[in-house]
Homo-oligomer: A and B are copies of this chain.
């Protein structure tokens, strides 16, 4: 029996477009002689639909389009992901389900493990499955699982570790029924420090239960979340015998009768920084495509963050869709302007220079009575950043260019940024990328030729909001800062544990305190493209009013 793996990019709530894409791939699979084509989790509506699931008309649309897809399943079977109504009078209203459709017949398998941690909220919407039934199709006994169903052995995080996050095991239940293989439909987002986990989970499940696994993941970005695809087929020894592309739609066919005879091919080698780069490019491109945006702007400072953001935007959107502003003040150095101009020219991006000195003076004059006798400080520094924000938003309002936020994760963590100033933007491209990785991205971007001027990469980072300001005046060196931050944010270690890695206790406490004190700022941050296992935003929910 031949099975097609359809790894596709869906648009949330765009039933018509998703259905058209699904039907086109059903036809493609038919033409290729496949018996069954498999789509990813909640493919009919895109993952994650969030609170749209609470709207009754959203569910009735789902049902309508399932019928349309069923009509296309003649001479071929399909498995699609969809929310289905819980017909019991008790429990949550919906199940997260896989719907197997074959010549008018349906087999529905519900999801058992509902991830409710980090960016996942599935128990908000869905009831847990408790029934495990395999089914027969063309002489094959098939068990369907959905994403997290394979993850019961995965302990979460490193603190109070458990052997299992869940108290039941779908794989155990299924293995007793001796299926010929397991299908897993997934919507598993990318994170650079966890993607090997995902493969290991699949390998372990195949080996432990001695069952081949056909894994179909979603690809494409949905606001913050970047789904990287990487669908694959594993034989019963856990060897990857078929693998689909990362960060792109893909379609491949496997003959299930031959799985155990195929050679191991593994997944393509892919350097960490290249993966991060490609995730950001896809994240930015899909945000624009799915929001129906075309053109972008940003403020080019001559520094590394705006340079890397622009290079990524150029790859994602095309240089012809970018129009950037250089907004120097009296504290901007000549080299900053030169570096910014060089970058815009290297990329061939349209730019304008607007000096903000007169605007800043107008603000200072208006406030002179109120601020009389007080030394200039943060208030005056922020006026510059906010004046830039106003100009960039005026350009955005006038021409429809979406403002890209250029803050990095290190800055966002310690609040080294101005709310309503450089924190502005429709999307934060680097908000989950630590500064040390921003430097690595710059080198990666320059791998074939100098795009980002060398001076931008090598000069000491500065916000240039007062004379001779350097980031290092207020912050520890970025290697140190980022290591402390990663241990606190991603690994959730305590101050004492972090200090035991070889840092001064005072520095650790000061850093953690900066992170905590700036929850209020991040609360108003744009959505941040998530590339790590713990990004700021939706997946990290810290109280504002707390004793930190």
Chain A interface residues (CB < 8 Å from chain B): 11-15, 17, 46, 48-52, 54-57, 59, 85-86, 88-94, 116-117, 121, 123-124, 156-157, 159-160, 162-167, 221-223, 286-287, 290-291, 352, 354-356, 358-359, 361-363, 365-367, 369-371, 374, 377-380, 382-383, 386-387, 389-391, 393-395, 397-398, 419-420, 424, 426, 492, 494-496, 520, 523-527, 538, 540-548
Chain B residue at minimum C-beta to C-beta distance from A164: B90
Given contacts A363-B359, A382-B394, A525-B524, A91 and B162 within 8 Å (CB-CB): yes
**In-complex Cβ contact of A11 among B164, B389, B545 (8 A):** B545
> Beyond A526-B523, A548-B13, is A56–B394 a contact (Cβ under 8 Å)?
no
Query: Which residues of chain B come closer than 8 Å to A378, judged between CB atoms?
Result: 397
Question: A159–B11 Cα gap in the complex (Å)?
Answer: 25
CA distance A359 to B10 in the complex (A): 45
Tell which of B86, B116, B369, B547 touches A12, judged by Cβ atoms closer than 8 Å. Answer: B547
> How many angstroms between the C-alpha atoms of A15 and B362 in the bound complex?
48
Q: List 16 A-B contacts (CB under 8 A).
A: A15-B547, A49-B543, A50-B541, A56-B159, A56-B160, A88-B162, A89-B162, A90-B166, A92-B165, A116-B123, A117-B124, A121-B541, A362-B362, A378-B397, A386-B386, A538-B541
- In the bound complex, CA of A230 to CA of B358 (Å): 56
Which residues of B have CB within 8 Å of A525?
524
Interface centre among A424, A542, A544 (most CB of B within 10 A): A544
Q: Given the complex, which residues of B lie within 8 Å of A159, measured CB to CB?
A: 54-56, 93
Q: Which residue of B lies closest to A361 (CB)?
A: B362
Instruction: State which of B91, B164, B358, B365 has its C-beta within 8 Å of the C-beta of A365.
Output: B358
The reply to whether A382 and B371 contact each other, CB–CB distance below 8 Å, is no
**Other-chain residue from B221, B420, B546 in contact with A390 (beta carbon distance below 8 A):** B420
Once A359-B359, A398-B371 are accepted as A-B contacts, the answer to whether A163 and B90 lie under 8 Å apart by CB is yes
Closest chain B CB from A59 CB (angstroms): 7
Partner of A370, one of B156, B354, B383, B387: B354
Least distance between A206 CB and chain B CB atoms (Å): 22
Find chain B residues with CB under 8 A from A355 CB. Answer: 366
A546→B393 contact, CB < 8 A: no
Instruction: Please determine whether A395 and B383 come into contact, CB atoms closer than 8 angstroms.
Output: no
A166 touches B371 (CB 8 A): no
Give Cα distance in the complex from A524 to B542, angstroms.
16
Instruction: Give the interface centre of A14, A86, A393 by most chain B CB atoms within 10 Å.
Output: A393
Nearest to A323 among chain B residues (CB) is: B370
Chain B nearest Cβ from A168, distance in angstroms: 9
**Bound-complex Cα distance A88 to B165 (A):** 10
Q: Within 8 Å CB of A362, what residues of B?
A: 358-359, 361-362
Q: Is A546 in contact with B12, judged by CB distance below 8 angstroms?
A: yes
Measured between beta carbons, the chain B residues less than 8 angstroms from A377 are 397-398
The 7 A-B pairs with the shortest beta carbon distances in the complex, nearest first, are A14-B547, A379-B397, A56-B159, A290-B545, A57-B494, A362-B362, A12-B546
A379 in complex: contacting residue of B55, B398, B495, CB < 8 Å: B398
Query: Within the complex, what minimum Cβ distance (angstroms) separates A130 from chain B?
Result: 9
Would you give the shortest CB distance from A337 to chain B, in whole angstroms? 16
Q: How far apart are A93's CB and chain B's nearest CB, in angstroms?
A: 4
Q: Please state if B543 and A223 are interface contacts (CB–CB under 8 Å).
A: yes
Q: Which residues of B contact A162 (CB under 8 A)?
A: 86, 88-91, 93
Q: Contacts A12-B545, A55-B494 hold; do A390 and B387 have CB atoms under 8 A apart? A: yes
The residue that A291 contacts in the complex, of B90, B121, B366, B544, with Cβ under 8 A, is B544
On chain B, the residues within 8 Å of A14 by CB distance are 546-547
The answer to whether A54 and B492 touch (CB under 8 A), given A390-B387, A393-B420, is: yes
Interface centre among A354, A355, A426, A524 (most CB of B within 10 A): A524
Q: How far is the CB of A372 from chain B (nearest CB, A)?
A: 11
